[in-house]
Amino acid sequence: MEPFTKLTAIACPFDEINVDTNQLCPTRFNKLPVGDPYLQKVMFHDQRFTRDGERRNTDFVFNREPYTKAQIIVADRNWGIGSSRESAVYAMAAFGIKSVIAVSFGDIHYGNLMKNGLCPVRLSQQACQNLRGQLFDNRGATITVDLKEMKVIAPDGTEFEFDMHPLKRRCLLEGRDDIALTTQYMDNIKTFEAKHHSDKPFMKVQEPE
């Protein structure tokens, strides 16, 4: 996994609330393996392309320059609700997205973003609105997401601080995946498990007779 430390890039404002993972990756594309070139077209596929994959002539933002090169999305509340499908994140990554700023996120999606090295940032309603406002006024403006300093720098230089759980932040900063982290605690796991199963033997899987 690539570390995420600090990124300055074109940010795309996206006003809609409750964007569900089905829009980020329509169900029929769940089958695509990571690395499949078609994944680049999957994020918001049905708004960007026809069913046959032809580009729709719509005003949809991600079809318009300079947002085809956006690496940051500034959204509203409830980004990524719905299905746990991780393919939503694969599609975003394939498009080039590296960070999403939103008021709130779908729980599982938030975790999925981090597990794939994308940086989710929670900011207040006002801060998100302010950022989107600046981006609408100033097409193609860049934003900085600084995970080391835990702040977002708006096009006009305003800084917004954000919070992230220390452990999750460390994994993102170091580009370390969770398994590598957890295996450091294997002794704790074994000790816990031995006691768990001796205190409550019925918790173990009982093979059917």
Partner 1 sequence: MAGKTLFDKIWDSHVVTEVEGETLVYVDRLLIHEGSRHSFSMLRDVEMEPYRVEQVFGFADHYMPTETTDGGIPGVKDEKIRGMLELMEKNTAEFGVRNFGFHDPNQGILHVVPPEQGISQPGIVLCGADSHTSTHGAFGSISFGVGASESGHIMATQCLWQQRPSTLRINVEGALPFGVYAKDIILGVIANFGVGIGVGQAIEFAGSCIESMTMEQRMTVCNMTIEAAGRMGMIAPDDTTYEYMDGRPYAPKGTLWDEALEYWQTLPSDEDAVFDREETLDVEQLVPMVTWGTNPGMALPITGIIPSPDEAQDEDQRREIEVALDYMDLRPGMGMAEIEIERVFIGSCTNSRIEDMRAAADVATKGKAKVETWVVPGSRSVKRQAEAEGLDKIFTDAGFEWREPGCSLCTALNGDLLNDGQRCVSTSNRNFRGRQGPNGKTHLASPAMAAAAAITGKLTDVRTLG
Closest distance of CB 129 from partner 1, Å: 11
Closest distance of CB 160 from partner 1, Å: 21
Strands 72-74 and 99-102: parallel
Residues that bind partner 1 (CB under 8 A): 16-18, 20, 22-23, 26-28, 30-31, 33-34, 46, 51, 76, 78, 81-86, 104, 106-109, 111-112, 115-116, 165-168, 170, 177-183, 185-186, 188-189, 192-193, 196, 200-203, 205-209
Closest distance of CB 75 from partner 1, Å: 13
Pick the closer one to partner 1 by CB: 156 or 177: 177
Pick the closer one to partner 1 by CB: 60 or 142: 60
State the first-to-last Cα distance of the chain, in angstroms, to the nearest integer: 44
Residue 71 to residue 30: CA distance in whole angstroms: 22
**Residue 55 CA to its chain's centroid (Å):** 25
Pick the closer one to partner 1 by CB: 10 or 94: 94
Pick the closer one to partner 1 by CB: 38 or 69: 38
Closest distance of CB 51 from partner 1, Å: 6
Closest distance of CB 32 from partner 1, Å: 9
At a CB cut-off of 8 Å and minimum separation 6, what does 43 contact? Answer: 24, 25, 62, 91, 92, 94, 95, 97
CA angle 15, 18, 23 (to 5 degrees): 90
What is the SS3 assignment for 119?
strand
Pick the closer one to partner 1 by CB: 27 or 158: 27
Are 75 and 101 within 8 A, CB to CB? Answer: yes
Closest distance of CB 23 from partner 1, Å: 7
Q: Which two tokens stand for residue 69?
A: 């090169």
Identity at 137, one-letter amino acid code: D
Task: Please state, in angstroms and as integers, the Cα–Cα distance from residue 22 to each residue in 29, 82, 91, 100, 179, following that order.
Answer: 10, 7, 11, 17, 28
Residue 71 to residue 52: CA distance in whole angstroms: 26
Pick the closer one to partner 1 by CB: 15 or 159: 15
